[in-house]
Amino acid sequence: MASSLFFYFLAVVTTVGAIAVVAFPSPLYSVLALILTFLGLAGLYLSLHAQFVAIVQVIIYASAIMMLFLFVVMLINLGREEKRELRLPGQKLLGAIAGLAVFSMLLKVFLSTSLMTGKKGSFPPERVSELGNTQIIGNLLLTDYVLPFQAMGVLLFVGIVGAVVLARRRSR
Amino acid sequence: MLEVVIPDIALSLALPEIGLAILVCAVLIIDLFVSLENKSRVGVVAFVGVVILGLVAFGQWGEGARTTFSGFYVVDNLSVFVKVCVLLCTAISILLLLQYAKVEKINYGELYAMLLFSVFGMLVMASGNDLITIYLGLETMSISIYVLVAFMRHDPLSREAGLKYFLMGAFASGVLLYGMALTYGFTGTTSIRGIAAAFSGEGGAAIAQNPVMIFGLILLVAGFGFKLALAPFHMWLPDAYTGAPTPITGFMSVAVKFATVAALMRILFVAFPAMADRWNALLWALTAFTLVWGNVAAIAQTSLKRMLAYSSIGHAGYVLMGVVVSMTVIDGKVTFTDIGISAVAFYLLAYLFTNLGAFGMLILVCRDGYRGDNIEDWKGIGQAHPWAGMAFVVFLLSLGGIPPTAGFVGKLYLFAAAVQTEYYWLAAIGLVMSAVSMYYYGRMIMVMYMENRGESQEVMSFSSAPSLFFALVVLVVATLLLGIFPGSFLDAAKGTVAGFI
C-alpha cells in the first residue's frame, strides 16, 4: 500500500513537471520544471530498487546537465516565447482533438488489460540487495553489455563533435 | 561477491565497426594538420578507408550466422550485404561531396567525420541482434545526419531542414523507445532471439494477444516508419531533403533505408513472427498509403530536388512492399518466403546506384550560388550537353522502372514476389503508381529533350571535377549493368536470406 502511494505521488510529480516544461512560456522555468521531472524519475528508480541509477539520475541529470542547461539559457538570454500566428486555421483545435483521441485510445488499451507478472531475470531484487547495485551494473557493463557500452561512447562522441560543428565560429 | 565472467568475444567479427571507429578518429586528427584549402585530402583519406572497410566487410560474406558480444551482435549474410552496400554508398557519396563541398564552401574535415559517424551507426544497426544495440546504432546514425543536414549554416534552408529533422527525429526516437520498453516489459528481454523465445514459450500466446503488447508493436513500427519516412510519417522529409547538402540528401535517402530496413526486418521477422498477422496488416496499409502519397505528391513539384525527395517516399513504399510480401499465411500458418526478402535486397541495391546518380546530376550543375534546382532550368539540356543528358535519362528511367535499367529488374522482381505470394492488390497498386511515377520522371526527360531553351534562362555549365565524373560513370555503368546482367546480383540478393530466419 505504502509503495503504491509512493508510486502515485511520484507519477503525479513527474507528469506535472513534464507538462510544466512545455507549458511555461519562459525557458528558465521550463528548465526548472525539468529538474522536478528528473527528481520524480529518480524517486521511481528508487522504488524499483535501482539505487545506483537513482543517484546517478540526481547527480548527473538533475544537477550537472540541468546546471549546464541553465547556464546556456541565461548565457544566450532567451526571452519569453513569442506568440506566433499558426499557418493553418484551427490547428490548435485539431491538434487537441487528435491528442485526446490518442490518449483515450491509450487509456482504453491500458484499462482493458490486467498486467502480467513476467519471469524473473538473473538479478531479482533479493539478489541485487545482497550484491549491491553498483557492482552488478559495473560487472554487466564490462562483460555482457560491453558492445552497447562502447557504442554509447561513440554516440556521446558524436554528440560532442556535432555540437562543436554546429556552434563554432568559422573563419572564411 | 559477484564472480566476474569475461564472455568470449570474437573481435574479428566486428572488424568493420572497429575499423570505422578508428578511421573516424584518424580523420578528426588528420583534419587538424590540413590547411583550410586542402580539406579535400581529408575526404580522400575517408574514401580510401571506407573502400578498405568495404572489402573487409565483403570478406565476411557467406559464412553463416555468427553471434558474439554475448549475443548483442550478429554477422550473417543480411548484415554483410547491408554493410557492404552502405559502405559502397558512402564511398560514392564522398566522391560526390569532394566537389560539392568546395562549391558550397562547407569543405571542413568534420563533414567527412560526421558522415563516417553516421555510417558507424548504420553498421551497428545492421548487425544489431538486440533492441539496445539497434537503438544505439539508430541514434548514432540519426544524430550525425541531423548535423549533416544543417551543415550549410549560412543557408537558412539548411538550418531549417536540420531543425525540423531533429525535432521530428527526436520525437520518433521516443516513440520507438516506448515500443521497445513495452516489448521488454512483456518479454523480459531485449534480445531479438530472446523475444522470439518468450513468444513461443509458455504463456507466449497470451502475450501476443495482449492489447498493450499490440500497442507496443504499433509504436515500434511507427518509430521505424518515421525513420523510413513512410506516409503518414513523412512530413519532415521534403523539407529535410531539400535543405540538406545534395550529396547528403543522396546519401541519406539510400543508406538510411538500407540500415533501417535491415533492422526492421530483423526485429519483425526474427523477434515478432508470433504477431506476424498484426504487423503484416499494419505494414500493408502503410505500404499502400506511402506508394500513393509519395508518387502523387511528386507530380506537383517544380523543384527537382523536392521531386526526388517525394519520389524517395514512393521508393520507400516499394521497399516496404517487399517486406510485406515476405510473409504469407498458408493454411493458417505463418511462413516466410525467401523471394520477398531477396526482392527487398535487390531493390535497395538498384536504388543505391540510381538515386545517387540522380542526385549526382544535380551536383554536376552546382556552382557558386546556383543549384539548378528548378525543373525549368533543365530545358534543352539534351541538345546542349548530350552525354550529361543521356546519363540523366538512364537514372530517370531506372527510377521509373523502364528496361534496360536496374530499376526495371528491381520492380519486376518485387512484383513477381508479390504475385507469387498472392498479394495481388499490393502488386496492382505498385504497378499503377509505377505508371504515375513515369509521368513526372518522363516530364523531366521531356523538358530536357523536347523543350527549347528560354531567352532569359540561366546558362547551365557542368562541372568537370574528376571525382564527380568518375562517380557518375560508375553509377551509370552500374545502373545499366544491373539492368542488363542482373544474374550475379540477384544471386547475392538471394544469398541474404541464408542464416537469417
Cβ proximity of B396 and B301 under 8 Å: no
Is B390 part of a structural domain of the chain?
A: yes
A109, A146, A161 ranked by CB distance to B110: nearest? A161
Tell whether the model's pLDDT for residue A172 goes beyond 70: no
Is B70 part of a structural domain of the chain?
A: yes
Element (H, E) at B185: helix B156-187
Judged by CB atoms closer than 8 Å, whether chains meet at A121 and B188 is answered as yes
Rounded average pLDDT over B135-154: 94
Is B317 part of a structural domain of the chain?
A: yes
Is B306 part of a structural domain of the chain?
A: yes
Over the stretch B224-247, which tens digit does the pLDDT of each residue have? 999 999 988 999 999 999 999 999
**CB pairs < 8 Å spanning A and B:** 99
Rounded average pLDDT over A159-169: 88
Is B3 part of a structural domain of the chain?
A: no
Judged by CB atoms closer than 8 Å, whether chains meet at B72 and A148 is answered as yes
- pLDDT of res. B264: 96
Cβ proximity of B80 and B57 under 8 Å: yes
Tell whether the model's pLDDT for residue A171 goes beyond 60: no
- A110-114 contact pairs (CB < 8 A, 24+): A110/B212, A112/B211, A113/B210, A113/B211, A113/B212
- pLDDT of res. B238: 93
Tell whether the model's pLDDT for residue A78 goes beyond 80: no
- pLDDT of res. A81: 67
The upper half-sphere exposure of residue B405, i.e. CA atoms within 13 Å in the direction of its Cβ, equals 25
Q: Could you tell me which residues come within 8 angstroms of residue B38 by beta carbon, excluding any fewer than 6 positions away?
A: none
- pLDDT of res. A170: 64
Judged by CB atoms closer than 8 Å, whether chains meet at A165 and B188 is answered as no
Q: How confident is the model at residue B116 (pLDDT cuts 50, 70, 90)?
A: very high
Rounded average pLDDT over A123-135: 83
Tell whether the model's pLDDT for residue A121 goes beyond 90: no
Give the domain range for residue B455.
11-495
Can you read off the three cell numbers belonging to residue B160?
531549417
CA dist B11 → A21, B130, B405 (Å): 44, 18, 40
Tell me the average pLDDT of chain B: 92
User: A143, A158, A168, A169: which to substitute to probe chain B, counting the most B Cβ within 10 Å?
Assistant: A158
Is B112 part of a structural domain of the chain?
A: yes
Judged by CB atoms closer than 8 Å, whether chains meet at A146 and B105 is answered as no
- Give the minimum alpha-carbon distance from A115 to chain B in angstroms, rounded to a whole number: 9
- pLDDT of res. B295: 94
- pLDDT of res. A72: 87
B70 CB neighbours in chain A (<8 A) are: 143-147
Candidates B218, B344, B343; CA nearest to B285 is B218
Report the SS3 class of residue B259.
Answer: helix
Can you read off the three cell numbers belonging to residue B385?
550537353
- pLDDT of res. B356: 96
Tell whether the model's pLDDT for residue A25 goes beyond 90: no
User: B32, B103, B119, B144: which to substitute to probe chain A, counting the most A Cβ within 10 Å?
Assistant: B144
Q: Taking CA atoms, what residue in B is nearest to A135?
A: B2
Write out B88-134 in H/E/C secondary structure.
HHHHHHHHHHHHHHHHCCCCCHHHHHHHHHHHHHHHHHHHECEHHHH
- pLDDT of res. B496: 85
Residue B108 forms contact with A (CB below 8 Å): yes
Q: Where in chain A is the domain with CATH 1.20.120.1200?
A: 1-79
A46-55, A109-118, B314-323: which has the highest mean pLDDT? B314-323
Tell whether the model's pLDDT for residue A74 goes beyond 70: yes
Q: Domain A1-79 carries which CATH code?
A: 1.20.120.1200
Is B481 part of a structural domain of the chain?
A: yes
A136, A148, A158 ranked by CB distance to B117: nearest? A158
- B55-64 contact pairs (CB < 8 A, 24+): B56/B15, B56/B16, B56/B19, B57/B15, B57/B16, B57/B83, B57/B84, B57/B87, B57/B123, B58/B84, B60/B13, B60/B15, B60/B16, B61/B495, B62/B495, B62/B498, B64/B498, B64/B499
Q: Percentage of residues in chain B with pLDDT exceeding 90?
A: 72
> Can you spell out the DSSP letters for B131-177?
HHHHHHHHHHHHHHHHHHHT--TT-HHHHHHHHHHHHHHHHHHHHHH
- pLDDT of res. B73: 94
- pLDDT of res. B30: 95
Judged by CB atoms closer than 8 Å, whether chains meet at A165 and B130 is answered as no
Cβ proximity of B255 and B119 under 8 Å: yes
Report the SS3 class of residue A146.
Answer: helix
- pLDDT of res. A21: 93
A139, A147, A161 ranked by CB distance to B73: nearest? A147
Distance CA B122, CA B138 (A): 7
Number of domains in chain B: 1
- pLDDT of res. B458: 66
A119, A155, A161 ranked by CB distance to B136: nearest? A155
Lowest mean pLDDT among A93-102, A110-119, B283-292, B308-317: A110-119
Place of cell 544471386: B491
Tell whether the model's pLDDT for residue B464 goes beyond 90: no
Over the stretch B320-364, which tens digit does the pLDDT of each residue have? 999 999 988 777 778 888 888 999 999 999 999 999 999 999 998
Candidates B475, B354, B441, B471; CA nearest to B406 is B354
Q: Taking CA atoms, what residue in B is nearest to A136?
A: B2
A146, A161, A166 ranked by CB distance to B113: nearest? A161
Tell whether the model's pLDDT for residue B2 goes beyond 90: no
Is B2 part of a structural domain of the chain?
A: no
